[in-house]
C-alpha cells in the first residue's frame, strides 16, 4: 500500500509540474501579446502583415484597429524623385574615405567582384561589390508564365559568377512556384512582364550606360530613360544620396532581405541578409539602409525578401535561406540580377 501511494504521489507531482509549465507558457504568451511591452506586439504585426500569406499571425490575435495603429507607427517615406544618373561618375578613387570605403576599393587588380561577410547585431549579411556594372543584367526563369527556377540553376545556365534574387511573384497559399511575376520586368531592353507592383518602390534597373536607375515610372517610360534591365519592387532606400525617412522598422517587419545599390563611383553593391533563424532573425529597412550608407551607396533599393532571398557565387548558395527544399535550400523564383564575365 505504501508503494502504491508513493507511485501515486510521483504521478501527481509530474501532473503538477506539467500543468504549471503550461500555465506559465500561456501566461508568458499572453503577456507578450497583450502586455505593456509593445516591442513584441509591433514586431509580430509588422512582420506578419508584410508577408503575402502569413498575415493571419497578426489577425488571429489583434483587431484591425490595433493592427492599423501599429502600422501607422512604422512607415517608409521614400524620396519623391527619380535617380539622376548623371551624378554617377564611375571614376575610381584610391583615396579612401573610411575603413568601409577601403574594404570596397582594396582589391586585386582586374577583379570583377569582392565578397564581404558581415556579422551585424542580430543577423548575418553578405555583401558583394561589383566593379563593372556593365556585366550586370536581369535574368528570368526560362519557364516564365508557367513556373520559376532556382536561382542557382539560372546562374549556372547563364554562366553567372554572382547572382541575387530580384522581383516578386504571386505566392498563393505560400506555395508560389515563381511562374507568375509581380511587377514590370525588362530584360535586355525588352519588356517581358507588364503587371504593376504599386505598393512601394518602382523600377529598379540599369541603364544603357550602366547606371542604377530607381524611378516610379511605367515600363515604356523606363525604356525611354534608357533602362536595359530592370525589375519592379521596393521600397527605395536611398535616392541621389538621400535616404528614405523610416519610422520604426519601416513597416516591413524583420525578414531575410535582399537589396541592391550603387555608389557614386559606379561600383554596385549586392546585399543579402539571413533571417528567421535563432542566430540571425533578419533585418528591417533601417538595417538595409544603414549598411548601404556605411558602404557609401548613392542609390539603393530593397528587392524581394523572405524565403526568396538568395546569393549565389560560382554556382554555390552562399547565404543560409530557409530550407523548405532539402535539395536546393531555397525556392523557385521569377527573376534575379546576375553578373557575367
pLDDT of residue 73: 76
What is the pLDDT at residue 16?
Answer: 55
Say what the pLDDT of residue 86 is: 93
Would you state the pLDDT for residue 115? 98
pLDDT for the residue 66: 83
pLDDT of residue 22: 54
Whether 215 contacts 203, CB under 8 Å: yes
pLDDT at 46: 79
pLDDT of 55 reads 80
Any idea how long the chain is? Answer: 341
**Tens place of pLDDT per residue across the chain (341 aa):** 444 444 556 666 555 555 555 555 555 555 555 666 667 777 677 777 776 667 877 787 888 888 777 777 788 899 888 999 999 987 766 688 999 999 999 999 999 999 999 999 999 999 999 999 999 999 999 999 899 999 999 999 999 999 999 999 986 655 668 888 999 999 999 999 988 766 688 999 999 999 999 999 999 999 999 999 999 999 999 999 999 988 888 888 899 999 999 999 999 999 999 998 889 999 999 999 999 999 999 999 999 999 899 999 999 999 998 644 444 468 899 999 999 99
pLDDT at 14: 57
Amino acid at each position: 500500500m505504501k508503494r502504491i501511494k508513493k507511485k501515486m504521489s510521483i504521478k501527481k507531482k509530474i501532473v503538477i509540474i506539467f500543468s504549471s509549465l503550461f500555465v506559465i507558457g500561456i501566461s508568458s504568451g499572453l503577456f507578450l501579446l497583450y502586455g505593456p511591452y509593445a516591442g513584441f506586439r509591433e514586431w509580430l504585426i509588422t512582420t506578419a502583415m508584410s508577408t503575402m500569406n502569413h498575415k493571419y499571425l497578426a489577425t488571429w490575435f489583434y483587431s484591425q484597429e490595433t493592427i492599423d495603429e501599429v502600422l501607422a507607427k512604422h512607415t517608409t517615406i521614400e524620396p519623391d524623385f527619380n535617380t539622376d544618373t548623371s551624378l554617377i561618375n564611375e571614376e575610381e578613387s584610391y583615396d579612401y574615405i573610411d575603413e568601409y570605403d577601403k574594404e570596397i576599393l582594396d582589391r586585386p587588380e582586374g577583379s570583377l567582384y569582392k565578397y564581404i561577410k558581415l556579422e551585424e547585431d542580430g543577423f548575418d549579411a553578405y555583401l558583394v561589390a561589383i566593379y563593372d556594372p556593365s556585366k550586370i543584367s536581369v535574368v528570368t526563369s526560362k519557364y516564365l508564365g508557367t513556373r520559376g527556377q532556382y536561382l542557382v540553376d539560372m546562374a549556372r545556365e547563364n554562366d553567372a559568377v554572382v547572382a541575387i534574387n530580384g522581383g516578386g511573384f504571386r505566392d498563393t497559399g505560400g506555395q508560389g512556384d515563381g511562374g507568375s511575376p509581380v511587377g514590370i520586368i525588362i530584360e535586355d531592353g525588352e519588356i517581358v512582364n507588364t503587371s504593376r507592383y504599386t505598393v512601394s518602390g518602382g523600377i529598379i534597373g540599369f541603364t544603357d550606360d550602366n547606371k542604377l536607375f530607381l524611378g516610379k515610372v511605367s515600363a515604356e517610360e523606363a525604356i525611354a530613360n534608357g533602362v536595359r534591365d530592370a525589375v519592379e519592387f521596393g521600397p527605395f532606400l536611398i535616392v541621389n544620396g538621400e535616404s528614405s525617412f523610416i519610422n520604426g522598422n519601416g513597416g516591413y517587419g524583420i525578414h531575410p532581405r535582399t537589396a541592391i545599390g550603387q555608389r557614386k563611383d559606379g561600383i554596385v553593391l549586392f546585399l543579402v541578409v539571413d533571417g528567421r533563424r535563432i542566430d540571425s532573425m533578419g533585418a528591417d529597412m533601417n538595417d538595409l539602409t544603414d549598411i548601404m550608407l556605411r558602404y557609401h551607396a548613392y542609390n539603393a533599393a530593397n528587392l524581394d525578401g523572405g524565403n526568396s532571398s538568395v546569393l549565389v557565387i560560382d554556382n554555390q548558395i552562399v547565404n543560409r535561406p530557409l530550407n523548405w527544399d532539402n535539395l536546393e535550400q531555397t525556392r523557385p523564383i521569377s527573376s534575379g540580377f546576375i553578373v557575367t564575365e
